[in-house]
Amino acid sequence: MTSIIGFIQTLFASVLSAINLDDLGKAGEIFGKGMLAIFIVVALIVAATYLLKYFSERAQKKTDAKKDAETTETSDAE
């Protein structure tokens, strides 16, 4: 593990500047929190979509049942 960190430090030292591991840890923490927030938002959007679909289908079934009942009453009256 130390050799990997040494390689990364050498790589970035030649391109940018020396890496401060404390700053890298803070950046990783911020990155993790951001990814968690994105995951939560996507999960909420998926849940809202399923709920809207469920309630839309339920309302459609009620509407269809009323239309069927009206059709049945109309045909019985004739």
Q: What is the pLDDT of residues 42-70, one digit of tens each?
A: 999 999 999 999 999 999 999 888 888 77
pLDDT at 51: 97
Does residue 29 surpass a pLDDT of 70? yes
Instruction: Please provide residue 26's backbone torsions phi and psi, each rounded to the nearest 5 degrees.
Output: -65, -40
Sign of CA dihedral 49, 54, 55, 60: positive
Q: Where are the domains of the chain?
A: 2-77
Average pLDDT, the chain: 84
Does residue 22 surpass a pLDDT of 80? yes
